[in-house]
């Protein structure tokens, strides 16, 4: 084994050995930190001396044998080949007896015994030089120490070298022994220091033949503190192909090896440091371990010398992880319990204190419950939802007061609901029972109504509302808050006219202008819910104004996302969506999503992703809408969505349908949904998405059934508003598909009479569908107006369809150039937004010029399916250019030209170049 940075020490040992061969002995005491290489140095020298012909006697002291008299001396004699059992005189010496009985005091060996044992050991050198090596001298028994000291005094003229290794760490193990030994002129003391960076680099380079050895060595030195044992472990963990230092299992074993070779106070200190982490201090450690500050300071020094600590902290998190992983269960819980007690009166976050209580597995102190609740609140604020759940679970188990238990249970439900509503549902029965018995405060009871709504527990909702109304001195704000938003989210439970009877505003006030008592945060939250509900009611009553919409933004600006504001915030977002303030809705939705993500609340994220999907689809960004809806269904399971599953499912259905991905849409239709969903607004979204799928896949009668269901529910709920669901437009398309043109026209005229001029999106959609049931001349006018309206509305999906249909109408009318321009624009919109344009319906309307339109209609339809790149390549082919010439002109590869042509052939249903020229030359202008 090659030693690094031990040349000076080896040189001294070799010099002493040379003198030994001349008849002069010597003594060497080698000190050093744990695993500093003392044993390696001793055995390296021993191997050299044995090869040179010397006798080597060795012994290793042990803390387990420290109480065994002459234990170390016995090992030396055994290694010399002397049989203690067969030699009666030697055996008597080791028993502390001579032929003359001498009284013997504890820790004192009679001169006769010392002389006798020294004589036996010196006789080993009669035949040649001898080397005696004793390892871990700090654990040596007192009798052996006396003997070694006696022997050392006689080595000046004997051919023997005595080498003793000891662990250096305060306090000194044998101060009197050291004083006497080091006083002798022929005794030398060597202090082994940790390897320097240069020594670490040499050691790493010798083991790893890699150009990164120097870079690796620097990191290795920082992590090991120059401890050779730790360095070697890191080398073994990372190997020759190392790119970045990663401590592994060898390093973990080496850490434990170092630790358990330290004194017991140092071991305990390291374990406590691992538990306390950055909140450890000498004072706290002294409290936890019941040790004096001086002993703690000595332990720090010892652990630092062993390469485990630097500046009072572990050199690497891997060291701390190793110690935590190897704590015994009882040891771990005891340390965490003591840590919590010691840290309670210090200025640390409640979350830190709570982690110790959780790890201890019990709450024994009266302040424990308050700490757990505060830590749960902090955890929810900081996105540590799992910690909050653990805190609340322990607090619930430790609570003895029934009101306290229910309060904690409600908080626990909210925390679990953030992550998994299906898991949180198990708390509902107990909370419902408490609400009916009056053991929940009114604010919590209102929260419970919202939660029961999510799971579709209609009967429980009615019972809880009734119990809330029957309480003594009822709070109208609480009851109104529940009833009003139920009106809009679950209309079958509370009718709109019932809720309208309790207007929270005073005479002359707007319904959202609600005064909250100063200092009452709970009432402020209730008022916030009422404001948002009143705003949504104003929007759904088809009479929104700028004041209402300004209030929607004010609510969003003033509300930090949390459990109490989630409902009013989402209602305000929906108000912006239903009034086509989509840009503002996108801004706030994305801002809220960032908050939800930061707080690790997948359920909140899923809700906002579903709303973002609705916004994206209304903007015509179909591919984005599909992505957001799919994300919403991935963040939490379909089972966790409860009755609100209709929102993401409806969004993903209509997005996949618009993209032409019918198999994917059909797969989503196979997801089971609760019956109660169809009594909610989210159920309408599901019916709408399913109806669109049926219509696109050739089942207009099934689509009619879904749209009629939407119509009936919206009329019954007094929510017949196209910005919620344009059922008339969808039903008209279904009527056109089954040949009922008159019914379609009647519905669309009714829709156009109902909507306001500001709703450009609905106007454009209505005009586009009306064109499909009109004469060619009328269709051309209607589609022109539809394109203008949809341009204003910025709905890319509806605009792409309108442009495509307008292109076909113009082509049939003989306006080929304008038709091609519109078709190209429609194709660009479709490609950019993942839209599949619908195929043209087969028809042969008469042309005003008398031209037969059949061929024009078919080929133009196919032409509109070509992308701009494909169209450019096709035009150059028609112009007679070769693939190589086209590639040169367009600055693309020949392979790319061939790929474009393959797609063109497929789309136009042709197989060769000549067919392309024959089909498209009349419709393509030469470049």
* Whether residue 765 sits in one domain with residue 900: no
Q: What is the pLDDT of residue 494?
A: 57
199 inside domain:
no
Domain ranges, residue 878 = 866-923
- 188-237 pLDDT, tens digit per residue, is 999 999 999 999 988 888 877 666 677 788 889 999 999 999 999 998 88
Q: What value does the mean pLDDT take over residues 556-563? A: 88
Residue 556, pLDDT > 80, answer: yes
Residue 240, pLDDT > 70, answer: no
- 10-24 pLDDT, tens digit per residue, is 999 999 999 998 889
Q: What is the pLDDT of residue 844?
A: 35
* Whether residue 848 sits in one domain with residue 826: yes
Q: What is the pLDDT of residue 649?
A: 97
Output the domain CATH number for residue 905: 1.10.10.10
Query: What span, in angstroms and rounded, lies between the C-alpha atoms of 764 and 773?
Result: 15
* Whether residue 887 sits in one domain with residue 845: no
* Whether residue 123 sits in one domain with residue 75: yes
Which residues partner with 57 through β-bridges? 132
- 63-116 pLDDT, tens digit per residue, is 888 888 899 998 998 888 765 554 555 666 666 543 444 444 445 788 888 888
Residue 45, pLDDT > 80, answer: yes
Q: What value does the mean pLDDT take over residues 111-136? A: 88
> Who has greater pLDDT, 588 or 889?
588
* Whether residue 853 sits in one domain with residue 888: no
Q: Which of 192, 218, 237 is the last residue of a domain?
A: 192
First to last CA, the chain: 81
Q: What is the pLDDT of residue 81?
A: 77
Are the CB atoms for 853 and 847 separated by under 8 Å?
Answer: yes
Query: What span, in angstroms and rounded, lies between the C-alpha atoms of 229 and 232?
Result: 5
849 inside domain:
yes
pLDDT cut 70: percent of the chain above it: 86
Output the domain CATH number for residue 93: 3.40.50.300
- 470-529 pLDDT, tens digit per residue, is 765 455 566 766 777 787 778 876 553 344 334 444 444 444 444 433 334 444 666 777
87 inside domain:
yes
- The token pair at 781 is 């006018």
For residue 600, which of 421, 377, 383 has the smallest C-alpha distance?
A: 383
Query: What span, in angstroms and rounded, lies between the C-alpha atoms of 549 and 99?
Result: 111
543 inside domain:
no
* Whether residue 155 sits in one domain with residue 108: yes
- Our count of domains for the chain comes to 3
Q: What is the pLDDT of residue 591?
A: 95
- 803-826 pLDDT, tens digit per residue, is 999 999 999 998 989 999 999 999
718 inside domain:
no
* Whether residue 133 sits in one domain with residue 23: yes
Residue 564, pLDDT > 70, answer: yes
Q: Which of 160, 192, 224 is the last residue of a domain?
A: 192
pLDDT cut 90: percent of the chain above it: 54
Task: List the 187-192 sheet strands across, edge first.
Answer: 55-60, 130-135, 160-167, 26-32, 187-192
CA distances (Å), 495 to each of 442, 499, 578, in order? 22, 7, 20
- 757-808 pLDDT, tens digit per residue, is 678 999 999 999 999 999 999 999 999 999 999 999 999 999 999 999 999 9
Across the chain, mean pLDDT equals 85
672 inside domain:
no
* Whether residue 781 sits in one domain with residue 880: no
Q: What value does the mean pLDDT take over residues 178-195? A: 90
* Whether residue 915 sits in one domain with residue 845: no
Q: For the chain, give the longest Cα–Cα distance.
A: 145
> Who has greater pLDDT, 530 or 513?
530
Work out the angle between the directed axes of helices 622-635 and 602-618 (0-180°, nearest 10): 160
* Whether residue 170 sits in one domain with residue 63: yes
128 inside domain:
yes
> Who has greater pLDDT, 690 or 560?
690
For the chain, what is the radius of gyration of the CA atoms?
A: 43
Q: Which pLDDT band, with edges at 50, 70 and 90, does 695 fall under?
A: very high
517 inside domain:
no
* Whether residue 909 sits in one domain with residue 765: no
* Whether residue 87 sits in one domain with residue 123: yes
- 861-909 pLDDT, tens digit per residue, is 456 567 767 778 888 888 788 888 888 877 788 878 888 888 888 778 7
CA neighbours closer than 13 Å in the CB half-sphere of residue 823: 28
Q: Counting beta carbons within 10 angstroms of the beta carbon of residue 211, is it exposed (0 to 12), middle (13 to 18) or buried (19 or more)?
A: exposed
C-alpha of 176 from chain center: 59
Instruction: Using DSSP bridges, classify how beta strands 130-135 and 160-167 pair: parallel, antiparallel or unpaired.
Output: parallel
Residue 550, pLDDT > 90, answer: no
Provide the whole-model pTM: 0.72
Q: Which of 127, 157, 192 is the last residue of a domain?
A: 192
């Amino acid at each position: 084994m090659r030693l690094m940075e031990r040349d000076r020490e080896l040189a001294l040992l070799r010099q002493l050995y040379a003198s030994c061969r001349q008849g002069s002995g010597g003594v060497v005491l080698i000190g050093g930190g744990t695993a500093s290489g003392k044993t390696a140095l001793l055995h390296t020298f021993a191997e050299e001396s044995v090869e040179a012909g010397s006798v080597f006697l060795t012994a290793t002291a042990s803390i387990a044998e420290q109480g065994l008299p002459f234990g170390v001396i016995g090992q030396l004699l055994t290694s010399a080949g002397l049989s203690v059992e067969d030699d009666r005189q030697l055996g008597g010496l080791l028993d502390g007896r001579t032929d003359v009985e001498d009284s013997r005091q504890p820790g004192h060996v009679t001169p006769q015994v010392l002389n006798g044992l020294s004589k036996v050991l010196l006789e080993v050198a009669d035949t040649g030089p001898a080397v005696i090596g004793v390892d871990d001298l700090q654990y040596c028994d007192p009798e052996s120490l006396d003997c070694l000291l006696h022997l050392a005094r006689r080595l000046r003229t004997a051919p023997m070298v005595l080498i003793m290794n000891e662990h250096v760490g305060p306090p000194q193990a044998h101060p009197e022994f050291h004083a006497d030994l080091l006083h002798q002129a022929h005794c030398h003391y060597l202090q082994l220091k940790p390897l320097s960076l240069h020594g670490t680099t040499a050691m790493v380079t010798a083991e790893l033949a890699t150009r990164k050895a120097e870079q690796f060595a620097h990191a290795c030195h920082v992590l090991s503190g120059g401890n050779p044992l730790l360095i070697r472990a890191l080398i073994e963990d990372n190997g020759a192909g190392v790119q970045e230092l990663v401590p592994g299992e060898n390093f973990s074993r080496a850490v434990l090896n170092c630790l358990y070779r330290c004194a017991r106070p140092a071991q305990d200190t390291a374990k406590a440091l691992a538990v306390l982490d950055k909140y450890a201090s000498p004072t706290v450690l002294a409290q936890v371990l019941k040790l004096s500050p001086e002993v703690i300071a000595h332990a720090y020094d010892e652990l630092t010398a062993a390469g485990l600590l630097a500046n009072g902290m572990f050199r690497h998190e891997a060291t701390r992880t190793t110690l935590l992983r190897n704590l015994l269960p009882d040891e771990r819980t005891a340390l965490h319990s003591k840590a919590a007690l010691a840290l309670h009166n210090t200025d640390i976050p409640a979350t830190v204190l709570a982690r110790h209580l959780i790890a201890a597995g019990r709450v024994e102190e009266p302040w424990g419950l308050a700490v757990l609740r505060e830590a749960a609140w902090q955890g929810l604020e900081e996105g540590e939802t799992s910690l909050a759940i653990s805190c609340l679970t322990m607090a619930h188990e430790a609570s003895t007061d029934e009101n306290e238990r229910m309060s904690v249970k409600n908080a626990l439900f909210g925390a679990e609901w953030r992550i998994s509503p299906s898991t949180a549902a198990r708390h509902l029965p107990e909370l419902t029972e408490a609400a009916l018995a009056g053991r929940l405060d009114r604010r919590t009871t209102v929260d419970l109504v919202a939660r029961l709504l999510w799971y579709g527990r209609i009967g429980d909702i009615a019972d809880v509302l009734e119990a809330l109304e029957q309480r003594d001195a009822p709070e109208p704000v609480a009851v109104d808050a529940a009833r009003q938003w139920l009106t809009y989210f679950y209309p079958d439970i509370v009718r709109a006219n019932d809720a309208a009877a309790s207007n929270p505003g005073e005479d002359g006030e707007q319904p959202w202008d609600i005064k909250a008592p100063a200092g009452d945060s709970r009432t402020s939250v209730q008022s916030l819910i009422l404001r948002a509900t009143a705003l949504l009611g104003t929007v759904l009553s088809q009479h929104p104004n700028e004041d209402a919409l300004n209030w929607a933004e004010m609510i969003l600006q003033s509300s930090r996302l949390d459990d109490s504001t989630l409902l009013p915030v989402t209602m305000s977002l929906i108000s912006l969506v239903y009034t086509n303030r989509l840009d503002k809705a996108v801004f706030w939705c994305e801002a809220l999503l960032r908050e939800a993500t930061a707080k690790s609340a997948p359920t909140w994220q899923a809700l906002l992703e579903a709303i973002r999907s609705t916004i994206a689809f209304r903007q015509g960004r179909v591919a984005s809408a599909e992505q957001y809806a799919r994300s919403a269904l991935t963040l939490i399971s379909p089972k966790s969505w409860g009755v609100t599953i209709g929102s993401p499912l409806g969004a993903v259905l209509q997005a996949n349908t618009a993209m032409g991905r019918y198999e994917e849409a059909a797969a989503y239709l196979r997801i089971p949904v609760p019956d109660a969903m169809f009594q909610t607004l989210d159920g309408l979204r599901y019916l709408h998405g399913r109806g669109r799928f049926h219509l696109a896949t050739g089942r207009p009668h099934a689509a009619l059934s879904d749209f009629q269901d939407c119509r009936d529910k919206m009329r019954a709920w007094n929510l017949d508003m196209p910005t919620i669901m344009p059922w008339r437009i969808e039903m008209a398309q279904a009527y056109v598909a089954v040949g009922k043109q008159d019914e379609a026209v009647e519905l669309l005229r009714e829709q156009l009479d109902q909507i306001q001029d500001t709703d450009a999106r609905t106007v454009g959609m209505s005009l586009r569908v009306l064109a499909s049931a009109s004469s060619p001349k009328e269709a051309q006018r209607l589609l022109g107006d539809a394109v203008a309206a949809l341009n204003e509305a910025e709905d890319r999906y509806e605009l792409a369809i309108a442009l495509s249909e307008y292109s076909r109408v113009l082509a049939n009318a003989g306006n080929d150039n304008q038709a091609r321009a519109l078709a190209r624009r429609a194709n660009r919109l479709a490609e950019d937004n993942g839209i599949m344009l619908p195929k043209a319906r087969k028809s042969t309307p008469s042309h005003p010029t008398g031209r037969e339109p059949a061929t024009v209609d078919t080929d133009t339809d196919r032409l509109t399916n070509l992308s701009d790149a494909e169209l450019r390549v096709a035009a150059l082919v028609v112009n007679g250019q070769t693939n190589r010439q086209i590639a040169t002109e367009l600055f693309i590869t020949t392979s790319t030209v061939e790929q474009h042509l393959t797609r063109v052939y497929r789309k136009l249903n042709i197989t060769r170049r000549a067919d392309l020229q024959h089909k498209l030359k009349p419709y393509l202008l030469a470049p």
